[in-house]
Amino acid sequence: MSRNKAGSAQHQGFNGFESALAAQEKVDLRILPSPFSSEHGRVLLCEGADASPADLRRSLLDDSYDKPFIFEDGEVRYLYFSLHHIQSSMQIDQPDRLDLRYTQKMMAFLLFNPNPKNLLLFGLGGGSLTKFCYRHLPRTRIRAIEIDPNVIAMRDRFQIPPNDERLEIIEDDAAHYIDIAAPGIDALLIDAFDRHGIAPALTQRDFLETCLEKLSPSGVLIMNIADEKGKCADLIALARSVFDERIIVLPVEEDGNQILFAFRNPQFWPRWRWLESQAKALKTRFGLDFPHFLNKMERSVKRDLMARANQAQPSMKKNFTHSMADPF
């Protein structure tokens, strides 16, 4: 059982934890002892009482189980879409904390808009981003779109708040919802994976073009991209075309993912020196390492500009070199 994103879990105190929560279990989640010999804990499945425990254990072990499932060890609760990859990770005593590094880096959009009014998420998962934004952005309207009802059924296990005037969890296809969404989205966060990877419909030009149209004038699209079979470079190139070069790619060294930031504002250019003070203030406000994120972003942009300059005609290199300087 892989921990390729969240690291090795700790297993102390599970029995006491299990007893304390026994009365709180949802009847729609089937609970089984961990079938994994090296992982002590339990799994929670969206299965009825008539499902065979032996068949469920077998399908978990051979990775043929085709629904999301929860594994928990008393300290950490994980959401898996397949046996080898963690979709979400939650510290049970800190449910609103962003536990996976890529989720922290997705929040770097706050460098460019620290007070979004309208936030849309595609992909709920364990609700890490949804919960963090709900807690730390009290004036922001948040909608999270999730296509899989089994994921939504697990929301209580990940302590996602109930729907209210600020938060709405909606069961829908992201490719459909973006067509009917009202314009004026300040931040559009896309972390929409299943056991096979990112949904193909979300990697198409028409989808990205519609996203661009629905952003507010200063809006930003943020997408978690896993480099599966070389698709990452193709998707980044497509976004660069749709957003007319206004993108920043932030690598996530811990798991090989990359976070794509794409900006609607035609005049967008990062004011790096000004953003340094913004990053320090945001670190104090949100508890995330925004100065580190900013440093990685600046290095990524300048590295990208240099690579493109080296590929350009000699007459163009002067313009690329000039672009690397902070204009402010």
Residue of 86, 101, 105, 151 lying closest to 124 (CA atoms): 151
C-beta atoms surrounding 47 within 10 Å: 20
- Confidence tier at 122 by pLDDT (50, 70, 90): very high
Which of 250, 268, 286 lies at the terminal end of a domain, its last residue?
268
**Per-residue pLDDT for 42 more than 60?**
yes
What percentage of the chain exceeds 90 in pLDDT? 73
Answer whether residue 6 is part of any domain: no
Contact predicate 78/70, CB 8 Å: yes
What SS3 state is found at 53? helix
Answer whether residue 109 is part of any domain: yes
Answer whether residue 76 is part of any domain: yes
Answer whether residue 18 is part of any domain: yes
Mean pLDDT along residues 65-91: 93
Which of 58, 91, 124 lies at the terminal end of a domain, its last residue?
91
8-state DSSP, 109: G
**Per-residue pLDDT for 314 more than 60?**
no
What SS3 state is found at 187? strand
Asked whether residue 178 falls in the same domain as residue 247, the answer is yes
Mean pLDDT along residues 82-87: 85
Asked whether residue 238 falls in the same domain as residue 262, the answer is yes
Helix axes 314-323, 290-311, angle to 10 degrees: 170
Residue 168 Cα distances to 131, 150, 165, angstroms: 12, 17, 8
Answer whether residue 3 is part of any domain: no
Answer whether residue 328 is part of any domain: no
What burial letters (b/e) apply to 236-266, b meaning 16+ CB within 10 Å? beebbebbeebbbbbbbeeeebbbbbbbbee
Asked whether residue 177 falls in the same domain as residue 253, the answer is yes
- Confidence tier at 293 by pLDDT (50, 70, 90): very high
Task: Quote the pLDDT of residue 3.
Answer: 52
Asked whether residue 137 falls in the same domain as residue 279, the answer is no
**Per-residue pLDDT for 25 more than 50?**
no
Asked whether residue 38 falls in the same domain as residue 56, the answer is yes
CATH number where 199 lies: 3.40.50.150
Token pair belonging to 209 = 């073009």
Q: Characterize the bridge pairing of strands 167-171 and 141-146.
A: parallel
8-state DSSP, 188: E
Asked whether residue 85 falls in the same domain as residue 160, the answer is no
- Confidence tier at 311 by pLDDT (50, 70, 90): confident
- Confidence tier at 309 by pLDDT (50, 70, 90): confident
Interval 7-16: pLDDT, tens? 333 333 344 3
Asked whether residue 211 falls in the same domain as residue 233, the answer is yes
Answer whether residue 7 is part of any domain: no
Mean pLDDT along residues 96-118: 96
**Per-residue pLDDT for 211 more than 90?**
yes
Residue 323 Cα distances to 26, 36, 52, 278, 302, angstroms: 56, 53, 62, 22, 9
Asked whether residue 261 falls in the same domain as residue 290, the answer is no
User: 280: domain range?
Assistant: 274-323
Mean pLDDT along residues 181-197: 91
Asked whether residue 125 falls in the same domain as residue 252, the answer is yes
Mean pLDDT along residues 236-252: 95
Residue of 99, 131, 96, 138 lying closest to 115 (CA atoms): 138
Interval 137-163: pLDDT, tens? 999 999 999 999 999 999 999 999 999
Asked whether residue 261 falls in the same domain as residue 141, the answer is yes
Asked whether residue 65 falls in the same domain as residue 155, the answer is no
Contact predicate 85/93, CB 8 Å: no
Residues forming the active site:
191
Answer whether residue 180 is part of any domain: yes
**Per-residue pLDDT for 187 more than 60?**
yes
Q: Characterize the bridge pairing of strands 69-72 and 42-45.
A: antiparallel
The C-alpha atoms of residue 79 and residue 70 are separated, in whole angstroms, by 5
**Per-residue pLDDT for 316 more than 90?**
no
Count the domains in the chain: 3
**Per-residue pLDDT for 321 more than 60?**
no
Residue of 218, 248, 183, 191 lying closest to 112 (CA atoms): 218
Asked whether residue 253 falls in the same domain as residue 187, the answer is yes
**Per-residue pLDDT for 130 more than 80?**
yes
Which of 91, 114, 147 lies at the terminal end of a domain, its last residue?
91
Alpha helix locations (H) across the chain? Answer: 14-21, 53-61, 101-106, 128-136, 149-153, 174-180, 205-214, 231-242, 272-286, 290-311, 314-323
Average pLDDT along the chain: 87
The C-alpha atoms of residue 99 and residue 75 are separated, in whole angstroms, by 12
